A and B are shown apart, each in its own frame.
Chain A
Amino acid sequence: MPSASLRQWRNDRTPRLAQIEAQCAASLAAVSPNAHLIEENLRGYVVLLSAHFQGFCRDLYTEAAMLIARRVRLSLRMLVLGQFTTHRALDHGNPNVDNIAKDFDRFGFDLRAKMNTDPANAPRRQHLAALNQWRNVAAHQGTIHPAGGPLTFPMLQAWRNSCDGLAASLDAILYNELRKILRRKPW
């Protein structure tokens, strides 16, 4: 069974993104396409995809922290949860691999090394980096565009698939690591 965070990703976040994707597709398929509307839709989709992936990562982090904290007595729990929450990179920073690893490494394992054991994660990480570069351009009205050409609909579809793969991979990594720490199935 997946974590509550992954279920939320699949049952709530992904359908929401699918609606935005359908809106982008509709603007591209219009009889007389409106170039400005297409660009705005794609830029909006970039920001939302990054935001939802950030939300998923933060949810998974919180879920794991809660499971660890449950193992200490009630009177100490707030102190432990405070340590997990303080200076959490995913509260403010983009969901890039640096920020994700910075937070999840607090659980006592090397997240990058764990991610690297799955060869499928290498292209996904490249997609995530490109997504976050374009997210910053869109959110801050940046004028210098990342390498790789203009933002296109197929790029976004590929990035969404990569986020989906990374979400499942992170869920599996956390499952295995928490199972070692807690000596029981975490979810």
Chain B
Amino acid sequence: MVTLDKGASGMAAKKKPPPTFNLGDRVKIRFHPDLRARIVELRGPLGPGGAQVYRVRISRKPKPSYIELTADLMEAIPPAE
């Protein structure tokens, strides 16, 4: 019997699952480092492949704007930041 050992390369091939967010979480938006946002609605599994879609409020002046994003476009902001 032959046992296949995938080793480190097999592990590296696994795709990291996107993070999950909760209502009220503060997030940064990838590729837009100046933007800070907050999760205001969980829209459900409406993204490609059933990915969770989040409605976020982006702090802007004179008034905030809203956008719907998937988790792969956001990074959590630690509470202390």
Known: A59-B44, A66-B46. A78 touches B68 (CB 8 A): no
Q: Please indicate the chain B residues that have their CB under 8 angstroms from the CB of A77 in the complex.
A: 73
Chain B CB within 8 A of A54 CB: no
Chain B CB within 8 A of A161 CB: no
Given A4, A63, A78, A85, which contacts B66 in the complex, CB threshold below 8 Å?
A85
Q: Please indicate the chain A residues that have their CB under 8 angstroms from the CB of B31 in the complex.
A: 74-75, 78
Number of interface residues of A (CB under 8 A): 20
Number of interface residues of B (CB under 8 A): 21
Interface of A is mostly: helix
| Cα of A82 to Cα of B31 in the assembled complex, Å | 14
Smallest CB-CB A-B distances: 6 pairs = A75-B31, A63-B46, A66-B47, A62-B46, A85-B67, A70-B48
B50 touches A4 (CB 8 A): yes
Q: What 18 additional pairs, Cβ within 8 angstroms, besides A5-B46, A74-B72, A86-B65?
A: A59-B43, A59-B44, A62-B46, A62-B53, A63-B46, A63-B47, A66-B47, A66-B51, A66-B68, A67-B48, A70-B48, A74-B31, A75-B30, A75-B31, A77-B73, A78-B29, A78-B69, A85-B68
Chain B CB within 8 A of A8 CB: yes
Q: Please indicate the chain B residues that have their CB under 8 angstroms from the CB of A86 in the complex.
A: 65
Flag B2-18 by CB within 8 Å of A: 1 or 0 each: 00000000000000000
A74 touches B73 (CB 8 A): yes
> Would you list 28 pairs from A and B whose C-beta atoms are within 8 A, ordered by A residue?
A4-B44, A4-B45, A8-B44, A62-B43, A62-B46, A62-B53, A62-B68, A63-B47, A66-B46, A66-B47, A66-B51, A66-B53, A66-B70, A67-B48, A70-B48, A74-B31, A74-B73, A75-B30, A75-B31, A78-B29, A78-B31, A78-B32, A78-B67, A78-B73, A81-B69, A82-B65, A86-B65, A91-B66
A82 touches B48 (CB 8 A): no
Chain B CB within 8 A of A49 CB: no
Q: Please indicate the chain B residues that have their CB under 8 angstroms from the CB of A91 in the complex.
A: 66
Report A167 CB to chain B, min CB distance, Å.
15
Report B72 CB to chain A, min CB distance, Å.
7
| Cα of A66 to Cα of B67 in the assembled complex, Å | 12
Chain B CB within 8 A of A65 CB: yes
Flag A84-108 by CB within 8 Å of B: 1 or 0 each: 1110000100000000000000000
Instruction: Pick from B30, B31, B46, B67 the residue with the most CB of A within 10 Å.
Output: B46
Report B37 CB to chain A, min CB distance, Å.
10
Q: Please indicate the chain B residues that have their CB under 8 angstroms from the CB of A74 in the complex.
A: 30-31, 72-73
